[in-house]
Amino acid sequence: MNSAPASSPALELRGIDKRFGTVHANRRISLTIARGSIHGLIGENGAGKSTLMNIVYGFYPADAGEILVGGRRVDVGSPQDAIAAGIDMVHQHFMLVENFTVLENIVLGAEGGWQLAAGLARARARLEALARDYGLEVPLDAVVSTLPVGLQQRVEILKALHRGAEILILDEPTAVLTPQEADQLFRLLGRLRDQGKTVILVTHKLREIMAVTDRVTVMRQGSIVAEVATRDTSPRDLAEKMVGRAVLLRVEKGPARPGEVVLAARGLEVRDRRQVARLKNVSFQLRAGEIVGIAGVAGNGQSELLAALAGTLAPSRGEIELAGHELVRERLDARARRALGLAHVPEDRLHDGMIGGFAAEDNAILGYHDRAAYNRGALQDRRAITADCERKMTGYDVRPPRPRLPLASFSGGNQQKLVLAREIEAAPRVLLVGQPTRGVDIGAIEFIHRRLVALRDAGCAVLVVSVELDEILGLADRILVMAGGEVIGEVPRAEATEERLGLMMAGVRGEGAA
């Protein structure tokens, strides 16, 4: 530690060790975080960074090691202990009561006595002071569910400060934000640091680390592999340390040669159970040999669009044309659509695209299990199914290449490669891909992107939905931006910039954003 040797560090971890079953999630982690700094914690999925932070926040006990706050050893047995020690955490999924006001949410659990009104009044005075000090304006009397996501996140931060947090852990805070909202968050974090708070930023996005942190710790396979001052490193350097080898951060591809229209959506509308329109009047066309990207903040109708196209959700209005068929009018289900050449890699792989308890080979035929190649009369052709899975595992570098292993015991990247192999090897006309690299390590991301580009070059129409703007910008030839359930504009790749897409994602119409 080169900064402020006089004062003790805000947080020190000594030899933290944690196992889950056979998984060694944290290996004797020792880490020192300086007071009044923004410290980045970066690593691939499964590197152990969330586990480490959950130990600090008292969610899990560590198997070994100790935690020191401000130089004093603390016993963090529960989140209450952590909060008492001045450690607080803003989770990726907010912990707010949606139909309470901001003030009620912040006071929740710290009402201070049985008279609610008195507690609320005291809290209000304090919060107004806090908001002034940190530039954290939040309408205290607004109901949380009416606030945009960016403001809800501020409520979480304000709640933490109100509870006396000195050390604030943010777990993937930008996953639900537009780029502009993310910038606002980073400015806020800067102000917190300047006021002497300590911030730990857990993320897998290199850009964010470079933009806001003072120091960064890189984790890989449960261990710390590097700790550097941010100004002494580069995204490429960090990526290599995360993966353990040189990586390509950019997708390499030639220009697209779009052919005929293969899929057309007209006026699609999807309503949820409460009859609220989640998808409003969406129309677009997909051509052979192009990758169309759908950009948007999570929860703006992309999932409903994918589901409506794939046939797992019935639209209340509109039509989808594919290979001379009207899919909605003819009530073609997912299976019938597959037969017409529509393949689908779902957004939520674990939930929709596979069965974790089934062997890999049984997952490799899901959706195609009726095909003649996998059956001999009434019986399944188990030998063909195994051979088919072996072939896919070799072709897509799925490790370990053992078809009989339950899919749940493969890593996220390998699961995704197998799902991708299943859908691509069916030689589709149209491939729908949701979050192609969610929960996938950097090494596999490269591979998956290359495969998608190769599929495009082979004449398939590819629709990619991703909340990772970098991924959309890297892959797509044409970008549709969704906000509030609508396609708010279309941007050719050449004209797309992060700023312009960000504005559109926030709901500003295409023309205005140009």
Partner 1 sequence: MTEPGRLPKWVDYGLLPALNLLAALLLAGGIIRLMGESPVAALKLLADGAGGSPESIGYTLYYATNFIFTGLAVAVAYHAGLFNIGAEGQAYIGGLGTGLVCLAVGHWPFWIVLPLAILAGAAGGAAWAFVPAWLQARRGSHIVITTIMFNFIASALMTYLLVNVLIRPGQQSPETREFAAASFMPVLPFFGAPLNLAFVVALGVAALVWIFIWRTRWGYAWRVAGANPSAAVYAGIHPDRVTLGAMLLSGALAGLLGLNELMGAQHRILLDFPGGAGFVGIAVALMGRNHPVGIVASAILFGALVQGGSQLSFDMPRVNRDMVVVIQGLVILFCGALEHMFRAPLVAWYRRRLEQSNPQSAIRNPQS
**Residue 373 CB, nearest distance to partner 1 (Å)?**
12
- Cα distance between residue 401 and residue 272, in whole Å: 41
Selected binder of partner 1 within 68, 374, 401, 509 (CB under 8 A): 374
Tell me: does residue 341 bind partner 1 (CB under 8 A). Answer: no
**Residue 413 CB, nearest distance to partner 1 (Å)?**
9
Kindly state the tokens that stand for 27.
Answer: 């290996």
**CB nearer to partner 1: pick between 136 and 340:** 340
What is the 3 state secondary structure string of 331-387? CCCHHHHHHCCEEEECCCHHHHHCCCCCEHHHHCCCCCCCCHHHEECCEECHHHHHH
Tell me: does residue 312 bind partner 1 (CB under 8 A). Answer: yes
- Cα distance between residue 426 and residue 433, in whole Å: 14
Tell me: does residue 351 bind partner 1 (CB under 8 A). Answer: yes
DSSP structure string for 26-61: EEEEEEEE-TT-EEEEEE-TTSSHHHHHHHHTTSS-
Tell me: does residue 334 bind partner 1 (CB under 8 A). Answer: yes
Residues paired with residue 89 on neighbouring β-strands, in sequence order: 169
Closest C-alpha to 310, from 299, 320, 301, 318: 320
**Residue 336 CB, nearest distance to partner 1 (Å)?**
7
Evaluated on CA atoms 214, 46, 437, 300, the torsion sign reads: negative
Q: Are 105 and 48 in contact (CB under 8 A)?
A: no
Selected binder of partner 1 within 1, 3, 20, 164 (CB under 8 A): 20
Binding segment toward partner 1, per CB under 8 A, in 109-117, 206-214, 378-386, 453-461 = 378-386
Task: Work out the burial of residue 391: count CB atoms within 10 Å of its CB; fewer than 13 is exposed, 13-18 middle, 19 or more buried.
Answer: middle
Residues paired with residue 483 on neighbouring β-strands, in sequence order: 486
**Residue 323 CB, nearest distance to partner 1 (Å)?**
16
Binding segment toward partner 1, per CB under 8 A, in 41-49, 231-239, 241-249, 464-472 = 41-49
State the number of CA atoms in the 13 A half-sphere of 287 facing the CB: 11
Alpha helices in 381-426, H assignment, sequence order:
382-395, 412-424
Binding segment toward partner 1, per CB under 8 A, in 187-195, 231-239, 242-250, 409-417 = 409-417
**Residue 485 CB, nearest distance to partner 1 (Å)?**
21
Tell me: does residue 21 bind partner 1 (CB under 8 A). Answer: yes
Tell me: does residue 25 bind partner 1 (CB under 8 A). Answer: yes
Selected binder of partner 1 within 6, 246, 379, 494 (CB under 8 A): 379
Evaluated on CA atoms 513, 498, 146, 281, the torsion sign reads: positive
Q: Are 186 and 211 in contact (CB under 8 A)?
A: yes
DSSP 9: P
- At residue 14, the 3 state secondary structure works out as strand
**CB nearer to partner 1: pick between 20 and 514:** 20
**Residue 339 CB, nearest distance to partner 1 (Å)?**
9
Selected binder of partner 1 within 88, 166, 362, 471 (CB under 8 A): 362
Tell me: does residue 428 bind partner 1 (CB under 8 A). Answer: no
**Residue 124 CB, nearest distance to partner 1 (Å)?**
38
Tell me: does residue 321 bind partner 1 (CB under 8 A). Answer: no
H or E stretch including 328? none
Tell me: does residue 46 bind partner 1 (CB under 8 A). Answer: yes
**CB nearer to partner 1: pick between 92 and 145:** 92
Tell me: does residue 409 bind partner 1 (CB under 8 A). Answer: yes
Selected binder of partner 1 within 70, 79, 190, 367 (CB under 8 A): 367
Tell me: does residue 272 bind partner 1 (CB under 8 A). Answer: no
Tell me: does residue 378 bind partner 1 (CB under 8 A). Answer: yes
Tell me: does residue 375 bind partner 1 (CB under 8 A). Answer: yes
Selected binder of partner 1 within 333, 373, 387, 395 (CB under 8 A): 333
Tell me: does residue 236 bind partner 1 (CB under 8 A). Answer: no
Kindly state the tokens that stand for 501.
Answer: 């897409």
Binding segment toward partner 1, per CB under 8 A, in 77-85, 110-118, 172-180, 331-339 = 331-339
- Cα distance between residue 213 and residue 201, in whole Å: 8
Q: Are 185 and 173 in contact (CB under 8 A)?
A: yes
Binding segment toward partner 1, per CB under 8 A, in 43-51, 111-119, 472-480, 506-514 = 43-51
Q: Hey, what amino acid is at 110?
A: A
Evaluated on CA atoms 171, 174, 177, 182, the torsion sign reads: positive
| Count of Cβ atoms closer than 10 Å to residue 190 Cβ | 14
Q: Which residues bind partner 1 (CB under 8 A)?
A: 20-25, 45-46, 48, 60, 221, 310-312, 333-338, 344, 346, 351-355, 357-358, 362, 365-367, 369-370, 374-375, 378-380, 382, 406, 409, 411-412, 439
